[in-house]
Amino acid sequence: MSRESTRRQFLAAGCAASAAALAGCGGGGIGGGGGGNGTTDWYYGDTNKQLSKELVSILNTRDAREFKLREGVTAATALKRLNDGTGEFAVAGADAAVFAKKGAGMKGISTKNTKLRAVVSLYPMPVTVVARPDLQAEKVSDLSGATVNVGKTNSRLASNANQILTQSGAEFSLRNVGLSTAMTKLQEGSLDVTFAIGDWPIKPVAEAAPDLKLLELGGSVRSNVVKSNDWFVEAQLPAGIYDGTNYMIDTVGIPALLLAGEEAGKKNVAITTDRMLKSAGNEEIKTRGGYINGKNKKEFREHIPSSVELHDGAQQVLVFR
């Protein structure tokens, strides 16, 4: 029997098992993922909204289950729901997954979420370093003497920005305010630099353009940041994202991951993973689909932190890649 025939046979069996579970006729996982009546909850944050909407739309045309988008909860809450079995899928940053696994590192996480599992890496969310347009700095290592905002205390942004600044070797004054407030202070001149993390374009940054400067995070600083924690990857901000910035910016990124709870049904996860990868391969996913396209065994794992295990269903898909 050919490899492709074996793959189709496995997935066909998975579909049958999934349908039986959703009808209440069989076991094999949480099935409804907290949504009830054959629905599967899919949680996401604001930075992953467009991709989540597109993926769920594609999956809903190809699956007997109905995927329901759930927003308005924090990453910490969504990951807790995966861990306790009341939710099935969530899109969140690799850093949040690591913090959730170890039970510390960001607001809202205080206990270990040991049942959290990775399904597939989606795309890198770039770290964007925004400065006043008249600041005499071109890269993060030039920030000695500057006043730098790293986000609210105990936030994901603050945790990541502080680690990046530690590697920069610069001496600076820290501020801890939200991004919208920081952008206002930049325009007023009472702040020199602010960090931001998220899919591009980031709305408050876009609204302030072109009255801003984007700083490079490259060279040895970038290399050291990537080596310091395995949720960082090398990344670039494409040219033209923000008005007035017609140049590409070296930076680091934090992979957005599709995550599931350990108790999510193995076949359900395998079928979802396979359909996502096939849709990306067929160029059906328009929002960052190029980052998902063509993942082989090595690519499948390389942007997932080592402390976050792959779900058994995702592992099953690797057999055929």
Q: What is the 3-state secondary structure (H, E, C) of 55-108?
A: HHHHHHCCCCCEEEEECCCCHHHHHHHHHHCCCCEEEEEHHHHHHHHHCCCCCC
Residue range 250-256: mean pLDDT, rounded = 96
| Model confidence band, residue 64 (pLDDT cutoffs 50, 70, 90) | low
Which one has a higher pLDDT value, 9 or 233? 233
- Using the predicted structure, report yes or no on whether residue 314 has a pLDDT greater than 70: yes
CA distance 127 to 152: 16
Is residue 175 classed as helix, strand or coil in its secondary structure?
strand
- Using the predicted structure, report yes or no on whether residue 224 has a pLDDT greater than 50: yes
Q: What is the pLDDT of residues 175-219, one digit of tens each?
A: 999 999 999 999 999 999 999 998 889 999 999 999 999 999 999
Residue range 220-241: mean pLDDT, rounded = 94
Residue range 143-149: mean pLDDT, rounded = 97
| Model confidence band, residue 116 (pLDDT cutoffs 50, 70, 90) | very high
Residue range 98-125: mean pLDDT, rounded = 95
pLDDT, position 302: 84
- Using the predicted structure, report yes or no on whether residue 6 has a pLDDT greater than 70: no
CA distance 110 to 98: 13
pLDDT, position 21: 32
pLDDT, position 29: 32
Angle between helices 94-102 and 156-168 (to 10 degrees): 100
- Using the predicted structure, report yes or no on whether residue 31 has a pLDDT greater than 50: no
Which one has a higher pLDDT value, 11 or 282? 282
Residue range 63-67: mean pLDDT, rounded = 79
- Using the predicted structure, report yes or no on whether residue 84 has a pLDDT greater than 70: yes
pLDDT, position 27: 31
| Model confidence band, residue 250 (pLDDT cutoffs 50, 70, 90) | very high
| Model confidence band, residue 72 (pLDDT cutoffs 50, 70, 90) | confident
* Residue 24, Ramachandran bin (φ over 0: left; ψ between -120 and 50: alpha; else beta): left
Question: What is the β-pairing status of strands 173-175 and 89-93?
Answer: unpaired
Is residue 253 classed as helix, strand or coil in its secondary structure?
strand
Calculate the average pLDDT of the chain: 87
Q: Is the dihedral of CA 229, 232, 233, 236 positive or negative?
A: negative
Is residue 40 classed as helix, strand or coil in its secondary structure?
strand
Is residue 195 classed as helix, strand or coil in its secondary structure?
strand
Report the percentage of the chain scoring pLDDT > 70: 87
pLDDT, position 101: 97
- Using the predicted structure, report yes or no on whether residue 50 has a pLDDT greater than 60: yes
pLDDT, position 225: 96
Burial (CB count within 10 angstroms: exposed 0-12, middle 13-18, buried 19+), residue 123:
buried
Report the percentage of the chain scoring pLDDT > 90: 72
Nearest to 276 by CA among 262, 288, 263: 288
Instruction: Give the total residue count for the chain.
Output: 321
pLDDT, position 307: 94
- Using the predicted structure, report yes or no on whether residue 320 has a pLDDT greater than 90: no
